Structure 1
Amino acid sequence: MQICFMRNRRKPSKYARLLSKAAKYYGIDLIYCHPTDIDIEEEIIHGKMLRNNEWVPKDVSIPPFIDLSSYCYKYKKEIRFLKERSLLSSYGKFGSKEKVYNMLEKDGEFKHLLIPSQPVDHFEGFYNFLNEHKEIIAKPKNGQKGEGIFLISMKNDSYIISYENQERHISSAELKAFFEDRINPKVYLFQKYIESKSKAGDPFDCRIRLEKDGNGEWSVPIYLVRIGTNQKVVSNVAQGGSVSSLTPFLKANYEENWKEIRDSIKQVGKTLPYKIEKLTKPATSMGIDIGIDKHGELYLFEVNSAPGVEFGTGEIASVKADYYHYILNEISNRSVQQVKEIQYS
C-alpha cells in the first residue's frame, strides 16, 4: 500500500521522515513529493521513499490517497489532475478569516465564541468601530504566523499603535494617516481586542491541534498554549515566545476556574471541527486558536487549514498514520469516488 505525502518544499522534513516510519507500521509506503513531481503525461509521480533511513528516488503510479497541504493548491494543473484520480486530504483553505467568521455567525451554533468584527471601507467606519470598543485589532484576512497585526487603542484624546514589541503614541491626524498609509480595508479585518494575557502580561492563545484518527473522526494529538514573550499583540512563537502545556498554564493563570476553562476548550475541540467541515470542505488536519479573557471566557481567534507540526510532532505523526490505515481500508472496501461522495454527504 502507498500514499503520497505532498508538500510545497523540495526536501523532506524531519516530520516526513517520522511519519514515513509511523506509516510503515501498517505496511504503508509513504512517497514524498513536490507538486511539480507529478508527471501528467506519464501519469506517475517522481517522488522519494525512505529506504534504510535515506530518501531515495521512487517513481510510482498515482496512489489512491494524497496527503497534501493547502499551499499546494497554487499548482492548479497538477491538483486538478490528482483530483480526478485520487482522494485528497485537503480541498483547499477554509477561506479567509472574515469568511469563516461570517459562516459561523450565520450558522449560530458557535456564535458565543465569535469576536465582534466590522468590515470597514473608509476611515470614518474605522474610527467609529475604534470609538465603540476603545481597543481593536487590525489583522490581514489571509495572514500567516501573526504577521501584519496591529493593536489600536484609544486613550482619551490620543491613540496608541502597538505592533510586535513596539508601541507608538499618535494624534488623531496621525491616526488617519496611519489608516490611509498602512491599512488596506480590502486586506484587513477589524475586531474588538480580546485581552488574552497571562498573569505576567504576555499575550497568549490556546492551539487545539487536530487530526483525523484511525476511525476517521477528529481527535486532538496535543493542546498547546503559545505565549508571546515580550510581544505587544500576538502570541505566535514565530515572532518570539514560548509554549506551554494546557493544564499547567491554566492552573497557574486561572486558579479558581481552570478546570471549567479546560473542559470548555476540550468541548470546542470535540465539536467545532465538524461544524467547520460542514460549512466549508472536507479536511484531515486543523488548528483552532482560542483566546481566554480575564474572566475565563473563550473567544475564537482563528481556524487554520494548514497547521504546523513543530510541536507534538510524534503524537501528530502517530494519529496521521492511523488515519492512513483507516482511509486506505475505506478505499479498498469501496472506491475513491464512493469515499468522496461519503465525505461530501
Structure 2
Amino acid sequence: MLVGLLQPFKEPTDLAKEISIEAQSKGIEILYMNPSDINEDDHIASGLVLKGDTWEDTEMPIPEIIDVSAFCLKSKQKIAYLQDRAYLTEGGRNKISKEKVQKVMEQDEHLQQYAIPTSRCKTFSVIKGYLLKYGEVVVKPIYSQLGEKIYKISQVNKDEFIIGYNKTSQKMNLQETFSYFQNIISKDKFIVQKYIPSRTHFGDPFDCRAHLEKNKEGKWVIAKKYIRVGIGQQVASNIGQNSSMLDTGMFFKLKFEKDAQSINDHINSFALNMAKKIETVRKQKLVTLGLDIGIDDSKRLFLFEANSAPDTSLLQEEVAKLRTDYYTYLLKANVELIPKEIV
C-alpha cells in the first residue's frame, strides 16, 4: 500500500522519517514528494522512499492518497492536478482566516462564547472605535506565522496610548498613534480584536496549544496539549526562541488550583467541537489542526487562532503514530468512496 507525503522541503524532515518508519510497520510505503517532483505529462512522481536508514530516489505513479502540507498550497497548479487524481488531506478549499474563524464562532450558538470581537481594519478609525469600546485591543495580520506583527494598544486617556510590541512598549499621543498604525495597516491586511488578558501570575502572555490529529477510526483526537508562555512579551506567546513550553497539567494546577481539571476538560471538549466545525465550514475532511486557546482572568476560554499546519517538533512520535493510523483508515475505507467534500 502506497501513501504520498507532499512537503515543501526538498529534503525529508525528521517527522517524515518518523512517519515512514511507523508506516512501514503497518504495511504502508511512504513516497516523500515535493511539488516540483510531480510530472503532469507522464502522471508520475519522482520522490524518495526510506530504505533502512537511507532515503533513496524513485519514480512511481501518483499515489491514490496524498498527505498534503498546507505550506504546499501555494503550488496551485500542482494541487489542482493532484486533486483530479488522488485523495488529498488538504486541498486549500474554503480556507479560514483569523477574521473568518471568529465570524464562524459568532454565528454558532454553541461556539459564540469562545469568539473574540473582531473587525477588519483598513483605516485607523476602526481601531479607534474598538479602543473607545474596549480600552485595550490587539492589531494583527489576517495571515501570519509565529506571532509576527502583533501589536497591543491601550488607551490611557483621550490623547495618550501605550503601544506594546514584542518585548517593548512606548507611549504615543493620538496623532502619533494614528500615523504609526495607518502606516502599518496600509501595507497588509490587518484585523483588530478586543484584547483578551490571558496571562500568567508573572504577567507573561500564555495560551494553550491543542494539537489535533485523526485516528484509526477517522475521528479527531487531541494528540497533545501544551502551554506556551511568551517570556517578557507584550502580547504573543508563540514567538520562537522567546517562548517557554510547559506541561498543561502542572500549569493548570498552579494557575487555577481546584478548577484545573474542569478547565482541562473544557478545553478538550471545545477543541474537538471546533475541529468538527472547521471541517464543516471548509467542506473538506482534514488530517491535522492546531488551536491556540486563551484563558482570561474569569477562566473563560477564547480561540486566538486555528492553524492548519501546526508545529510538530514537540510531538513527532505522537503525530507519526496517529497519522499512519489514519492512513490505514483511508486505505481500508476505499478512497474512491470517501467524499472530497462534506455534503
Shorter-chain TM band: over 0.9
* Residue of structure 1 equivalent to 2:110: 109
Give how far 1:190 is off. 0.4
* Residue of structure 2 equivalent to 1:52: 52
* Residue of structure 2 equivalent to 1:191: 193
Equivalent residue of 1:254, what SS? helix
* Residue of structure 1 equivalent to 2:339: 340
Contact 2:102 2:117 (8 Å CA) reproduced: no
d(CA) in 2 for partners of 1:62 and 1:121?
Answer: 44
The aligned amino acid for 2:53 is N
* Residue of structure 2 equivalent to 1:4: 4
Quick check: 1:311 aligned with 2:314? Answer: yes
Give how far 1:311 is off. 1.1
| Equivalent of residue 238 in structure 2, options 236, 239, 249 | 236
* Residue of structure 2 equivalent to 1:170: 172
* 1:1-345 matched pairs, under 5 angstroms: 1-92=1-92, 94-156=95-157, 157-184=159-186, 187-280=189-282, 281-331=284-334, 335-336=335-336, 338-340=337-339, 343-345=341-343
- Spell out, residue by residue over 1:192-222, the C-alpha distance to the aligned partner (whole angstroms, 9 max, x if none): 1001011121111101100111000001110
d(CA) in 1 for partners of 2:265 and 2:80?
Answer: 41
Equivalent residue of 1:112, what SS? helix
d(CA) in 2 for partners of 1:290 and 1:240?
Answer: 19
The aligned amino acid for 1:205 is D
Give how far 1:107 is off. 3.0
Moved more, 132-141 or 256-265: 256-265
d(CA) in 2 for partners of 1:74 and 1:183?
Answer: 24
Give how far 1:108 is off. 3.0
d(CA) in 2 for partners of 1:183 and 1:76?
Answer: 27
- Spell out, residue by residue over 1:165-207, the C-alpha distance to the aligned partner (whole angstroms, 9 max, x if none): 1111111111111122122396101001001011121111101
Structure 1, unaligned runs of 5 or more: none
TM-score, length basis structure 1: 0.95
d(CA) in 2 for partners of 1:75 and 1:308?
Answer: 21
Equivalent residue of 1:274, what SS? helix
**RMSD (CA atoms):** 1.5
Structure 2, unaligned runs of 5 or more: none
- Spell out, residue by residue over 1:38-84, the C-alpha distance to the aligned partner (whole angstroms, 9 max, x if none): 01111111000010211110111111100011221211221111111
Give how far 1:278 is off. 0.5
d(CA) in 1 for partners of 2:179 and 2:271?
Answer: 41
Equivalent residue of 1:257, what SS? helix
The aligned amino acid for 1:122 is T
d(CA) in 2 for partners of 1:286 and 1:204?
Answer: 19
Give how far 1:239 is off. 4.9
Contact 1:226 1:237 (8 Å CA) reproduced: no
The aligned amino acid for 1:229 is I
Equivalent residue of 1:174, what SS? helix
d(CA) in 2 for partners of 1:119 and 1:61?
Answer: 45
Contact 1:286 1:307 (8 Å CA) reproduced: yes
- Spell out, residue by residue over 1:140-169, the C-alpha distance to the aligned partner (whole angstroms, 9 max, x if none): 001111001000111124111111111111
Question: How many residues are treated as equivalent by the alignment?
Answer: 340
Q: Structure 1: which 4+ aligned runs deviate by more than 4 Å?
A: none
The aligned amino acid for 1:19 is I
The aligned amino acid for 2:212 is L
d(CA) in 2 for partners of 1:122 and 1:76?
Answer: 32
d(CA) in 1 for partners of 2:9 and 2:51?
Answer: 20
d(CA) in 1 for partners of 2:241 and 2:139?
Answer: 17
Equivalent residue of 1:236, what SS? coil
d(CA) in 1 for partners of 2:33 and 2:122?
Answer: 42
Contact 2:138 2:150 (8 Å CA) reproduced: yes
d(CA) in 2 for partners of 1:241 and 1:11?
Answer: 27
Give how far 1:123 is off. 2.4
The aligned amino acid for 1:139 is K
The aligned amino acid for 1:99 is K
Equivalent residue of 2:107, what SS? helix
- Spell out, residue by residue over 1:231-286, the C-alpha distance to the aligned partner (whole angstroms, 9 max, x if none): 11100041511111211111111113112211110111221111111011321110
TM-score, length basis structure 2: 0.96
